[in-house]
Amino acid sequence: MRGLVKYDKGVGFVGVRDVDMPSIHHPDEVLIKIKACGLCATDVHVWKDEFRSFPPVVLGHEFSGEIVDIGGNVKEFKIGDRVVAEPKTGSCGSCSVCREGKIQLCKHRKAPGWGINGGMTDYIVMPFNMLHIIPDKVDYDVAALCEPLSIVVHEVTERAGVQCSDVVLVIGSGSIGILSAFVAKSCGASKVIITGLNASESVRFPVAQSLGADEVINVEKDDVVKRVMEITNGKGADLIIESSGSTQGIINMPAMARIGGRITCIGLCKTDNASLLWNTAMYKALNLYFNFSSSYSAWDKALKLMETTEKNLRYMITNYESIDNWEKIFSSHYDENAVKVMFIPEDEICAYH
């Protein structure tokens, strides 16, 4: 079979390669036929050598598929089950972080797509305890959004505690930002504001509005702090969700928050240095949450939300592609003409065209 592989360390060294068909080597494992795999910024960062990887490794961690074989110890799942999988493989299970149930933060973790072979291919082997059943009403392409959606569910609802009366400001209109607007509105937020760049206007802003954003702000055309304060009648946002990793967006967060408000941070910065209006945050007694990855419980909540929402999450998927077109897609990642690109195996892609 073929896969999109990071085949050596350094900038670049990504291409479509023949890879071995995986097989079950442990009784707790299952073999999954990939049905869809989303492109994440992490995949692009691996290509650019801006995120750690252990080549040769197949890229992709946002995938859905069908179980086609199971190990002898697997009782909870069966052949034919439709599943998604948490990318938390390699967690040691014995360190204090793992024993607290936070396996996503284990320093030993080697996840699909950079630590072990991922989903941009035809088949993958995963331990059964990473799996979740896809509801019958949810198609494979939408189910492959579960990984980023579970991150948002964890960090917006479980960590920051979005409330039904909140005015929510989302900084950044990438896929995480748009899903944040969707989750906030689904939880009853009274108003959702999302920001973005000029490039967001043609594709990303309309998708954001279709999934829950009430107001959009182009930060290259408008004074974002002034606009937020106008929209909130001078009060500021109850909850700010930072999904961009933008230096300027991070600096301005305290100025746009209400007194006693909350800020939850999801976006990673290009470097490990970011400024913040520190005294403003102190005087307002803001609550600040830093986040990484997702919880086990957030996956089931994300799948339930997919099953019950009246919104069409397929609006998130702006491109269906073969891995043969990976370079064009990766190179155009920064032009913001897409929201989520879904790579589909060759024997499945005709169903999407």
Give the active site residue among 26, 45, 271, 280: 45
> d(Cα 323, Cα 37) in Å, to the nearest integer?
10
Look-up: residue for tokens 């896969």? Answer: 3
| Catalytic one of 25, 26, 42, 61 | 42
Q: Determine how many CB atoms are found less than 10 A away from the CB of residue 138.
A: 19
- Please say if 264 is a catalytic residue: no
Q: Taking a C-beta distance cutoff of 8 angstroms, is the pair 120, 3 a contact?
A: yes
Residue 42 designated active-site: yes
Annotated active-site positions, please? 42, 45
